Each structure stands twice: as structure tokens, then as C-alpha cells.
């Protein structure tokens, strides 16, 4: 198996048309596209409407079974096979299809004379193996110089006359026996399968088609359309449309496969060589991200102090002894009694007034009669406020666990 040294991607398209004259399509095409390879087949049936359709269908089904395209385990094995093994499997699949067609024709009198062409291509990386019987064709279009090469040889009487030099190419195109085949599936129990092997390059196109295309479109035109578009769907559509515009006398089938690179990788020795070449190059310096143009706000002026510790002093409180709010009562006698019972600022610390004024519940507790007040143990009484330090610092009201 040819290994190009890098991964490639195979993009493909398969399309068919009944044409402008026929009422049914005796062509049968199929395309199996996998991650590592593509298998494509064009089968052009013959022998009458029903017989031709049945013959081409049997051929495609036999190839699918012979190549085990529905068995993913076998598909992995197919990827690992050598070229000789793949060639043998392709030939056996076509020969099996031939025997099935022969048996079908023998069992059904209405199917006698049925047959089909087969052009089968197995593409793996940049390597293609073509198995061929009949006059369907496989073309290779070179991306670099635009040349087109016909890979297969037609198994027709006209092609034999042309190869022997008895007629010219111009005479072959107009010869009345150009569609008469001397080799096809369904003619004999033993069929010889031609095998071709070619190497592909990036950008090359592989085109498989029935004679419904080559009857109206010249090889040079096939190459022109194949290289004009990078989408295989577009190429196949354009070619079929051109054949139909020029008469579409037969069914037209086209398969286009495009070879593209996919994440190319270099061999380890080449990567090491490139790394050594770049060792002496200058290092690319990335510039800092451009800063914003909006100016920053000015820094506040901080006055210098003689004493460095002075600036670290804690800020002064806004108000150490805020005045408690005055509570008004509707009953004048009650107001007078509460004013008389309220302790003065000299007897009660400021912090106590702050706590008492916090909410309504505190005010209610303050106004309770003395006989309802709880007994306060001597050790829990408020500290003496006559001390000057106590008056300045206030009273610590935390419970003993928080001391």
C-alpha cells in the first residue's frame, strides 16, 4: 500500500440520471465512503428494461456483500490488507456477481440476455485499485497540468478495432457497433476482470462514469469541469446536465472523488530538522496589550506629619453620646410620671440610653414597675460609673463568655 506520509481526505459524490430518451434507468451506482477509504462502483445494465435494471442491481449487491461493506469489523481488516489481497477480493466479488446474474437469467426466461458492465474503484490514501469489465470508464484528472487519462480500456468491438489500428478515433465515435461488448457480466460463467493500479496526488480527481456520459461529453471537457469546481457534487451535476443538454440518449451516471490534504504531518526526522533550523532565529517578542486611553483619577494629597504614628491613629467617633429620642404619651399624668422616674444623664451611662432607645421592646422594659423587675445578683450589677476612666470608655455590656 502506498503511504504518502500525511493524512488525506477523500470527498466524493455519486449521481445518476435517466437521460432524455429512456423511460427507465438501467444504471446502478453506489458509493461507500469511510474514514480511511472509499469504494465506488458504476454498473450499466443491458438486455432490456427489467433485465438491465436487475443485472446492475445484482452486481452492486454482490460487490457490497463480497467486500463486506456492512460488516465494520471486516472494514477495519480491509484497511489493513495489502494491495494483492484487495485485488483478489475485488475480482472475486465481480466474479460472484457474474455467476448470480447467469443463474438469474437461467431461472427466469424473461431475464435471458441480461448483463451489466462493472467499473469498481477502491481508493485508500493516495492509492487507487480499479477492477473493470465492460465499457464504463474510470478517468484520472491530474490537478497540476490538467491532463486526463483513461485508466480502463473498453471491452467493445470498436475499441478492439481501434487498438488494432483499423479505425481512427473519429471513426470509433460514429461506428454503429460502438455499444456492442465482447466482455460483460452475464455472458459466460467465467469472466476475466481487468485490474489497474494508480497513484494519486493532492488535488487530483477520479471520475467513474457510464457510457451515457462519454457518448456526449469528451474527455477534455470532463477534465475541465472536474478541475473547475472543488465540490464533487457540483462537478457531477454539471457533467450530467451537459450530457442531457446534448441529447441524453442513454442513462447518465457519474462518480467524482477528490483528493485533499487533511492535517498534514511531517516525518519525525523532518520535524527535527525544521526545529534545528529555527533555533538560531530571533525570538518573537509579543507586545503588551494596549492600555486604555482613559486617564486615571488623580491621587489624593497626603500631608506629611512629624510623628509617623500619628497617621495610624484610629478615626474619631462621629458622636460618642447621641441624645436618646423623646417618647411622647397621650396621658399627661403618665408623661409626668415617666419623666420623674426616668434617670438623669448623671446617674445612667450614655451607652445604656443608646441601648434603651433601640426599639419599642427596650422602651417597654424600661417602663415596667419595680415589682416586676428581676432580681439582679450582686456580681452581675453594672460596674461603678463614678470612675473617670469608666465614664470616658463606656460600659462593656458583653456577656462573660465574650470577655
31-85 pLDDT per residue, tens: 998 877 999 999 999 988 789 999 999 999 999 999 877 766 666 777 888 999 9
Per the domain annotation, does 286 fall within a domain? no
**Is 108 a domain residue?**
yes
pLDDT of amino acid 312? 44
Whether residue 107 is found in the same domain as residue 239: yes
- Which of 69, 60, 37 minimizes the C-alpha distance to 206? 37
Distance of alpha carbon 228 from alpha carbon 208, whole angstroms? 17
175 lies in the same domain as 243: yes
* Domain boundary, last residue among 221, 243, 266: 266
pLDDT of residue 280: 46
Cβ distance 114 to 28 under 8 Å? no
Q: Are residues 257 and 336 in the same domain?
A: no
pLDDT digits 0-9 by tens, 344-363: 545 544 444 454 445 555 55
Specify whether 331 is located in the same domain as 244. no
> Do both 246 and 332 map to the same domain?
no
Of 71-80, 88-97, 365-374, the least confident = 365-374
Where residue 120 sits, what CATH number does that domain have? 3.60.40.10
| Residue 137, H or E segment | strand 137-141
| Pair (228, 341) in one structural domain | no
Domain boundary among 266, 283, 298: 266
Q: Would you state the cell numbers that stand for residue 358, as one nine-digit string?
A: 433601640
Over the stretch 178-217, which tens digit does the pLDDT of each residue have?
889 999 999 999 999 999 999 999 999 999 999 999 999 9
Q: Are residues 58 and 194 in the same domain?
A: yes
pLDDT at residue 311 in the model: 45
**Is residue 316 a part of any domain in this protein?**
no
Q: Which cell numbers hold the place of 219?
A: 474527455
More confident site: 285 or 142:
142
Is the model's pLDDT at 341 over the cut of 50? Answer: yes
* Same domain, residue pair 250 and 376: no
d(CA 124, CA 8): 9
Per-residue pLDDT at 73: 64
CA 364 and chain centroid, separation: 75
Q: How many CB atoms lie within 10 A of CB 108?
A: 13
Q: What is the pLDDT of residue 310?
A: 47
pLDDT the model gives residue 374: 52
CB 78 within 8 A of CB 88: no
Instruction: Indicate whether 187 belongs to any domain.
Output: yes
Residue 307 lies in a domain: no
Domain-located, residue 248: yes
pLDDT reading at 385 higher than 60: no
Q: What angle do CA 301, 303, 305 make, to 5 degrees?
A: 160
The three cell numbers of residue 27 are 444504471
What secondary structure letter does DSSP report for 200? Answer: -
Query: pLDDT grade, residue 96 (50/70/90)?
Result: very high
Domain of 380, in residue numbers? 323-397
Q: Is residue 349 part of a domain?
A: yes
To which H or E segment does residue 31 belong?
Answer: strand 27-33
294 located within any domain: no
d(CA 155, CA 150): 13
CA-based nearest residue to 150, from 231, 219, 216, 100: 219
pLDDT in tens, 144-190: 999 999 999 999 999 999 999 999 988 988 898 888 999 999 999 99
Burial grade of 192 (CB within 10 A; 0-12, 13-18, 19 or more): exposed
Judged by DSSP in three states, 149 sits in strand
Name the 3-class secondary structure at 8: strand
- Length of the chain, please? 403
Same domain? For 351 and 261 the reply is: no
C-alpha cell read off for 225: 469541469
pLDDT of residue 80: 83
Q: Structural domain tally of the chain?
A: 2
Cell readout for 96 is: 460472484
pLDDT at 179: 86
Q: Which of 19, 13, 12, 42 is nearest to 252 (CA)?
A: 19
SS3 148: strand
Last residue within a domain, chosen from 241, 266, 291: 266
pLDDT of residue 324: 52
Q: What is the residue-averaged pLDDT of the chain?
A: 78
Same domain, 260 and 389: no
Nearest to 86 by CA among 136, 133, 120: 120
- Residues 80-99: what's their mean pLDDT? 95
- Of all residues in the chain, the percent with pLDDT exceeding 70 is 62
What gap in Å lies between CA 151 and CA 222, rounded to an integer? 14
Assess whether 260 and 333 both reside in one domain: no
In angstroms, rounded to a whole number, what is the distance separating the alpha carbons of residues 301 and 80?
80
Output 278 or 117, whichever has higher pLDDT: 117
Q: For residues 252 and 54, what is the distance between their CA atoms, to the nearest angstrom?
A: 17
Tens digit of pLDDT for each residue in 308-340? 444 444 444 544 555 555 555 555 555 555 555
Kindly state whether residues 249 and 358 are assigned to the same domain: no
Amino acid at each position: 500500500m502506498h503511504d504518502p506520509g500525511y493524512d488525506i481526505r477523500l470527498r466524493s459524490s455519486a449521481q445518476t440520471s435517466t437521460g432524455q430518451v429512456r423511460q427507465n434507468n438501467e444504471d446502478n451506482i453506489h458509493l461507500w465512503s469511510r474514514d480511511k477509504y472509499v469504494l465506488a462502483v458504476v454498473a450499466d445494465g443491458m438486455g432490456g428494461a427489467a433485465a438491465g435494471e436487475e443485472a446492475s442491481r445484482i452486481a452492486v449487491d454482490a460487490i457490497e456483500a463480497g467486500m463486506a461493506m456492512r460488516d465494520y469489523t471486516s472494514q477495519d481488516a480491509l484497511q489493513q490488507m495489502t494491495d494483492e489481497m484487495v485485488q483478489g477480493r475485488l475480482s472475486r466479488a465481480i466474479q460472484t456477481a457474474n455467476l448470480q446474474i447467469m443463474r438469474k437469467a437461467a431461472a427466469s426466461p424473461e431475464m435471458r440476455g441480461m448483463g451489466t458492465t462493472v467499473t469498481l474503484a477502491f481508493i485508500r490514501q493516495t492509492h487507487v485499485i480499479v477492477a473493470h469489465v465492460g465499457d464504463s470508464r474510470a478517468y484520472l484528472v491530474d490537478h497540476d497540468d490538467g491532463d486526463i487519462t483513461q485508466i480502463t480500456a473498453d471491452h467493445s468491438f470498436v475499441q478492439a478495432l481501434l487498438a488494432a489500428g483499423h479505425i481512427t478515433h473519429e471513426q470509433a465515435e460514429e461506428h454503429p457497433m460502438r455499444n456492442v461488448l465482447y466482455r460483460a457480466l452475464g455472458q459466460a460463467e467465467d469472466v476475466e476482470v481487468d485490474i489497474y493500479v494508480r497513484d494519486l496526488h493532492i488535488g487530483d480527481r477520479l471520475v467513474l462514469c457510464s457510457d451515457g456520459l462519454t457518448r456526449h461529453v469528451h474527455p477534455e471537457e470532463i477534465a475541465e469541469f472536474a478541475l473547475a469546481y472543488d465540490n464533487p457534487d457540483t462537478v457531477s451535476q454539471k457533467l450530467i446536465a451537459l450530457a442531457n443538454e446534448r441529447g441524453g440518449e442513454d442513462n447518465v451516471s457519474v462518480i467524482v472523488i477528490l483528493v485533499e490534504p487533511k492535517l498534514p504531518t511531517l516525518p519525525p526526522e523532518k520535524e527535527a530538522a525544521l526545529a534545528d533550523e529555527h533555533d538560531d532565529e530571533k525570538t518573537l517578542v509579543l507586545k503588551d496589550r494596549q492600555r486604555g486611553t482613559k486617564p486615571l483619577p488623580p491621587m489624593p494629597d497626603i500631608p506629611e506629619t512629624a510623628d509617623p504614628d500619628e497617621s495610624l491613629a484610629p478615626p474619631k467617633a462621629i458622636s460618642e453620646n447621641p441624645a436618646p429620642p423623646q417618647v411622647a404619651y397621650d396621658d399627661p399624668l403618665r408623661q409626668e410620671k415617666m419623666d420623674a422616674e426616668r434617670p438623669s444623664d448623671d446617674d445612667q451611662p450614655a451607652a445604656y440610653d443608646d441601648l434603651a432607645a433601640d426599639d419599642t421592646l427596650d422602651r417597654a422594659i424600661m417602663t415596667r414597675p419595680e415589682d416586676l423587675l428581676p432580681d439582679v445578683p450582686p456580681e452581675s450589677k453594672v460596674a461603678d460609673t463614678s470612675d473617670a476612666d469608666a465614664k470616658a470608655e463606656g460600659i462593656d455590656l458583653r456577656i462573660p463568655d465574650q470577655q
